[in-house]
Amino acid sequence: MKTKKDRSQKLLNKINESGWNGVSVPISHLNDLRDAILKRYEQGFLDKDFYKDQLSFFSFKSPSDLPDAKSIIIAAVPTPQMRVIFHWKGKPVQVTIPPTYVSYTPRTNNTLKVLTKWFNSEGYNLVKSKLPLKTLAVCSGLAKYGRNNICYVPGMGSFLQLVGAFSDLPCDQDPWSEPQMLDRCTSCTACLKHCPTRVITKDRFLLHAENCLTYINESKNDFPEWVNPSWHHCLIGCMRCQAICPENKPVINWFEERAEFSEEETMLFIHKVPLDQLPADTRVKIKNLQINEDFRVLCRNLSMIIN
């Protein structure tokens, strides 16, 4: 007869055998997750607008659709960068989309679907969470922080997506611990030197995230006047600190070629033609990028890169 411990280990083994990494922690750590976010905000380490835009949507309550939840599952799925080509003035312009955006919703849903099937086969249930997954990953020991505040998983670098869920599977061990920084980061300052907006500093570990190019590129507002157009290189987000990071050397050239747009299509984007007014085949290509960002934001960012 299988014990609960046997089932727990079997399910975690399946996650690892799939090429992912995963771990579970007791649901009692919900309060620790909440405090990790709120205390930084209350202590003034997080900008008010940044907190409202990026962190205020988290929920630290047990799921109503799984009232007997006992654990939180966190999985890291290897994910490549995505390369998109826009033709402009007779030349191809290669634009990158970072791993954290690549097919985020489809990849997350597929991962949850696979995990749910495994858990159900052992008599347990799984429901999606709205938790700060990066914090969960480092506190569970699944990942470590880089100096750039991005999480790294052994064998994946930072080329990954995190998927979190609640389960009624009891957690037989508790790996929870204080967040750890990569050993390499104690002597390496590559990301600090190459961050265009200088949000990585020596005086504190936490980023000045309100000035991070990733946050600025995700915003629907106009670019601040102090942002240099030459800093832009991604259709959304930023790869400056990850591209220079020695931890990513094994995976830095891992790209998925996703789409190519003609000069006529690129012109439509530059002029911010609404999505529903684009040719049908162009709309299909945009949809196939599978990134959950406002189309107008993508047009604004592309205009900055190209012009």
- End-to-end Cα separation, the chain, in angstroms: 66
Place of tokens 């970072």: 98
Summarised one tens digit per residue, pLDDT across range 22-43 is 999 999 999 999 998 888 777 7
Whose CA is closest to 41, among 27, 23, 58, 55?
55
pLDDT for the residue numbered 104: 64
pLDDT given at position 103: 62
* 181 — pLDDT class (breaks 50, 70, 90): very high
Summarised one tens digit per residue, pLDDT across range 245-285 is: 999 999 999 999 989 999 999 999 999 999 999 999 999 99
Report the C-alpha gap between 21 and 140 in whole angstroms.
Answer: 12
Say how far residue 224 (Cα) sits from the centre of its chain: 24
- Where are the strands (E) in the chain, listed by range? 21-26, 71-78, 81-88, 91-97, 126-128, 144-145, 151-152, 160-167, 255-261
**Helix 104-121 / helix 4-17 crossing angle, nearest 10 deg:** 150
Kindly state the tokens that stand for 229: 């157009």
- Contact present, 8 and 118 (Cβ < 8 Å): no
Q: In the chain, what are the domain boundaries?
A: 4-306
Question: Is the pTM here over 0.85, yes or no?
Answer: yes
